[in-house]
Structure 1
Amino acid sequence: MHSRFVSTLAVVGTALAGGLVPATAASASIRFDPAKGTGYVGRNDVQAPFRWSNAVLQARAAGITFSHSRSIEDVYSVVCGWDKPNGGRDHVTIVVTHPRLSTRVYLRSSVAYDASSVSSAEPRGRVVGFRLTGAVSGVSGTSVGPAVGAPCPEGRGQSGARTIDRVRLKSSTTISALTASYKGVDRDLRVTRS
C-alpha cells in the first residue's frame, strides 16, 4: 500500500511539474467543451468501453479518433384524417418521433503520455489520456417535421388519401455524445439528454 501511494505521488508530482495530466482515478473524468471541441479524456474512459487491456490500449492509442455528435428529436401528436367511403372524414391520432437535426464534428486529438514511465517497452511512456484540441471537420443535416396537409406517416390511417389534419409538438430532446472510434468501431464515452 505504501509503495503504491508513493508511486502515485511520484507520477502526480512529475506530471504536474512537466505539465502532463496525472494518471490518478480523479483524472479519469471527461472534461469536454462542445462549443470549442476541446478537452481531455482519461485512459480509463476509453479503455473501459472498448474492454481493452493496458497493452492493447497502449498499442492502439495513436489510432483512436474522437467526435462529438448532437441531434434534436421532436415528438409530435399528429391527427391523420381520411375520407370515408360513405362521406365524412375519419381520424386517428398518432405519436411521431422526428429527427430534426443531426450533426457530427470530428475532433483533433493527441495522446497524453506519462513521461516518468518511459521504458524500452514503452518509449514514450504509458498512455494516460487524450487531449482534444478542436474541430477538424463536420457534417450536419436537417429535415422538416410533419405538417398539416402532408401525407400521414406510412401505414397510418385507413385506405384512401391520408393526410395530416393537425400537428402539435409535444416535446424536443437534444442528445449530445462524445464518441471514441477505432477502425470503424464507435464507443460513446458520454451521452447527455436535455
Structure 2
Amino acid sequence: MGLGTTTLAVAVALGSAAAPGRPSVTFDPATGTGFVAAADLQRASRWSGATVRKRAPGITFAISTTRTYTATCEWLANGGTRRRDIRRVVVRRTGTVAAVRVYQPRVKDQLVGFSLAGLGPATTVGTVPRVGAACTGPRRHGRWTIVKQTAAVSTLSARFGKASVKLA
C-alpha cells in the first residue's frame, strides 16, 4: 500500500464527532490501522474545515517509532574474570501509513476523516541485539546475554507538502 488514498462512504454513525476537546484519533502502531477524524486534524493543524477538505487528497500519514532496549554484553577478562557492560540501544523506524478518505453519504464533500489502513514502506536505523550474538567493545569480545525492551514511543503524523502535524 502506498501513500495514495481512495474514497469510501460510511454510515452517519461513524461520523459522530468526539466530545469537544476529546480527540477521536485511534491508532494501533503495530498494524498501522485506526481512524483520524477530520475535526482532530483541523484542531492539530489549525486548518479550517474547508482547508482540510481541499487538501484531503494530498494528505498522507506517517509513523515514527523509537524503541529503547537495555542490553548486557558479557565477556571473560584477563585472568578469567567474568565482566559485563550494560548498554542502551535505540532503534528508530519511520514509515508511511496507508489511508482511505471517509465521506458522509449523501452530503457532497462532507469529509468525516481518514481510515488508517495499514503500515507502508519503512526505514529502520539501529539493530536490536540478539541474545547469544557477538558483542564487541574496546579490547573485548563477548556475547549478548540479556536484552530487554525498556520503552517504545510511536508518533502518528499527518503531512501535506512540507507541513507535518503530530496527531497521536
With the length of structure 1 as denominator, give the TM-score of the two structures.
0.55
Query: How far is the alpha carbon of 1:28 from its aligned partner?
Result: 4.6
Higher relative contact order (CA 8 A, sep 6+): 2
Deviation at 1:24, TM superposition (A): 1.8
CA separation in 2, counterparts of 1:102 and 1:40? 24
Q: Which moved more, 1:171-180 or 1:43-52?
A: 171-180
1:117 is displaced (CA, Å) by 2.3
Normalized per residue, the structure richer in strand is 2
CA distance in 2, matches of 1:136, 1:172: 26
Q: Is 1:105 aligned to 2:95, yes or no?
A: yes
User: Deviation at 1:50?
Assistant: 1.2
2-side partners of 1:175 and 1:35: how far apart?
11
Where in structure 2 are there 5+ consecutive unaligned residues? Answer: 1-10, 71-86, 130-135, 140-148
Uncovered stretches (5+) of structure 1, i.e. residues with no partner: 1-13, 76-95, 119-124, 151-170
2:24 corresponds in structure 1 to 29
1:1-194 aligned within 5 A: 15-16=12-13, 21-26=14-19, 28-73=23-68, 100-118=90-108, 125-142=109-126, 149=138, 172-190=150-168
Which residue identity lines up with residue 113 of structure 2 in the other structure?
Answer: G
Q: What is the alpha-carbon distance in structure 2 between the residues aligned to residue 36 and residue 182 of structure 1?
A: 23
Measure how far apart 1:176 and its partner are: 1.1
Q: Which has the larger radius of gyration?
A: 1
CA-based RMSD:
3.0
% same residue: 28
* Distance across 2 between alignment mates of 1:134 and 1:182: 19
Deviation of the 1:99 alpha carbon: 6.5
Matches of 2:96 and 2:126 in 1, distance apart? 18
